[in-house]
Each structure stands twice: as structure tokens, then as C-alpha cells.
């Protein structure tokens, strides 16, 4: 067994596993999140991300309206 590489040893020790996307801890492959607190963290992050996305969307629309006004206003006068 001394011939086994360290990778094989780790595989044997931990078995098939995946990592929590929130904290990066090893966990069972059938789980998506390792714990309830990480689940809460993820939900909080997603909510913030959505808020940010909406703000960016509004910003983009304002920019576009501004550009259109800049393009068309000189022609109106
Ligand atoms: Zn976690």
C-alpha cells in the first residue's frame, strides 16, 4: 500500500464527495449545501444578487434613455 499515491489515499479516506458552494467544506455528493446556515447564506447572497441585477437593469435603461435623448434632442431644435 506504500505504492499508492497521496491522491489515492485521500480518495480512500474521504470517499466520493463534493464541496459546499458556500463554505467549500467537503460533504456528501447527494447534498447541495452542507448545512442550514450555509443554505441561509446562499439565499441571502442570491437575494442581494437579484437586487443588484435589478439596479443594473434600471441603470442601463436610464443610460439608454439618456443616449436617445442626446441623439434626438439636437434634431428637435
Ligand atoms: Zn457549507
Domain ranges of the chain: 13-76
Question: How many A from CA of 4 to the centre of ligand 1?
Answer: 30
pLDDT per residue as tens digits for the range 19-66: 998 999 988 888 889 999 999 999 999 999 999 999 999 999 999 999
| Cα 37 to middle of ligand 1, angstroms | 8
* Nearest residue to 42 (alpha-carbon basis) of 17, 57, 50: 50
Instruction: Give every CB contact of residue 38 below 8 A, 6+ residues apart in sequence.
Output: 20, 22, 23
Task: Give residue 76's pLDDT band: very low, low, confident or very high (50, 70, 90).
Answer: low
Give residue 62's pLDDT: 97
Per-residue pLDDT at 30: 87
Instruction: State the distance from the centre of ligand 1 to the C-alpha of 5, rounded, in angstroms.
Output: 28
Q: How far is the CA of 26 from the centre of ligand 1 (A)?
A: 8
Q: Kindly report the pTM of this predicted structure.
A: 0.49
Amino acid at each position: 500500500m506504500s505504492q499508492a499515491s497521496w491522491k489515492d489515499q485521500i480518495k480512500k479516506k474521504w470517499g466520493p464527495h463534493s464541496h459546499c458552494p458556500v463554505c467549500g467544506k467537503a460533504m456528501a455528493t447527494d447534498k447541495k449545501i452542507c448545512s442550514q446556515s450555509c443554505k441561509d447564506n446562499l439565499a441571502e447572497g442570491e437575494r442581494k444578487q437579484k437586487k443588484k441585477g435589478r439596479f443594473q437593469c434600471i441603470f442601463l435603461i436610464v443610460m439608454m434613455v439618456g443616449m436617445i435623448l442626446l441623439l434626438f434632442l439636437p434634431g428637435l431644435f
